[in-house]
Amino acid sequence: MKTIEELCVELKTAYIRENYKKHISESKQKDEDFEVFLYDLLEAERNHRRNNGIKHRIRMARFPQKKYLEDFKVSRFSKNIKDKFKELETLEFIHNKENVILMSNPGMGKTHYATALGMKACLENMKVLFISVPNLIIELKEAMSHNQITRYKKSFEKYDLVILDELGYVSFDKEGSEILFNLISNRINIGSMIITTNLLFDRWEEIFKDPILTTALVDRLAYKSHLLNMSGDSYRIEETMDWLKEKSSPRK
């Protein structure tokens, strides 16, 4: 006859294997009904699996930093932008396979907000990928050089949400522009994207160097996208000024 530990290994109930004795002891002390004991034990196993799943999804998302919506400063934005934030934070745009394009000058929190939406998606059992556009181009070219571009494209399609950060900070050569165009075009209608950029649409030709390709990409993206212009006074500048004031103030 197999032991409880062996049965747990076979059934892949890691939490129960490690903690069933503790639950039995606590249940005896409380004089709990067996049904209550069993429910609590199974619920603990479920929560353990859920938490492990969240950790795994966050790790696989490749976020450069963990950012949360609760820490995002919304007070400096207009009411219209705030209302749009509330709409996006329901994550309905992911279920509807819509895109989000966050535009602003540097320092307005585009990456923070995009990451925070991605974190919330991970918490709600969705697969997320975060990658900067310059790094994406490097990975695409490496995949092409190893004849693995088809595999890369398929892996790109498995995510519920892909966050493409920093579009516009680096321009591309012709090959880079074309493979990025194809990757984004193929994902439209398959899954959602969040794109952060420091450039409005009328300047995207500076990145892609091809007016026809740029127009085609903008048309495809704008068709099912939420567009937010978050431009304003950089919170990084505000934080730097506050820091300088604090350092320069006379000590008591």
Q: Does 37 share its domain with 93? A: no
Q: Does 53 share its domain with 98? A: no
- Note the pLDDT of residue 175: 84
Q: Quick one: 156 exposed, middle or buried, by C-beta within 10 A (0-12, 13-18, 19+)?
A: buried
Q: Does 50 share its domain with 151? A: no
Q: Does 157 share its domain with 191? A: yes
Name the token pair of 82: 């705030």
**Residue where a domain terminates, one of 61, 80, 108:** 61
Residue of 125, 127, 133, 100 whose CA lies nearest to 114:
100
Q: Does 29 share its domain with 127? A: no
Three-class secondary structure assignment of 88-117: HCCCHHHHCCCEEEEECCCCCCHHHHHHHH
Binning pLDDT at 50, 70 and 90, where does residue 106 land?
confident
Q: Does 108 share its domain with 182? A: yes
Binning pLDDT at 50, 70 and 90, where does residue 114 land?
very high
Average pLDDT over residues 9-37: 90
* 246 within domain boundaries: no
Average pLDDT over residues 22-40: 89
* 140 within domain boundaries: yes
Q: Does 33 share its domain with 99? A: no
Q: Does 116 share its domain with 175? A: yes
Q: Does 76 share its domain with 46? A: no
Q: Does 18 share its domain with 80? A: no
Percent pLDDT > 90 in the chain is 48
What is the average pLDDT value for the chain, to the nearest integer? Answer: 87
**Which range marks the domain in which residue 44 is found?**
4-61
Q: For 211-224, what is each residue's pLDDT tens digit?
A: 888 888 888 888 88
Q: Is 172 helix (H, G, I), strand (E, B) or coil?
A: coil
Q: For 133-151, what is each residue's pLDDT tens digit?
A: 999 988 988 998 889 988 8
Alpha helices in the chain (DSSP H): 4-11, 14-30, 34-61, 79-88, 92-95, 110-123, 133-145, 149-156, 174-187, 205-208, 211-223, 235-248
Q: Does 176 share its domain with 135? A: yes
Nearest 5°: the CA angle 204, 78, 166 is: 30
Cα–Cα distance list, 226 to 87, 153, 221, 223 (Å): 10, 24, 9, 9
- Note the pLDDT of residue 233: 62
Residue of 121, 120, 128 whose CA lies nearest to 162:
128
Q: Does 32 share its domain with 104? A: no
**Is the pLDDT score of 188 beyond 90?**
no
Q: Is 167 helix (H, G, I), strand (E, B) or coil?
A: strand
* 90 within domain boundaries: yes
**Is the pLDDT score of 96 beyond 60?**
yes
* 43 within domain boundaries: yes
* 198 within domain boundaries: yes
- Note the pLDDT of residue 83: 95
For the chain, the domain total comes to 2
The CATH number linked to 138 is 3.40.50.300
- Note the pLDDT of residue 162: 97
Binning pLDDT at 50, 70 and 90, where does residue 160 land?
very high
- Note the pLDDT of residue 237: 40
* 243 within domain boundaries: no
Q: Is 64 helix (H, G, I), strand (E, B) or coil?
A: coil
Name the token pair of 206: 């500076």
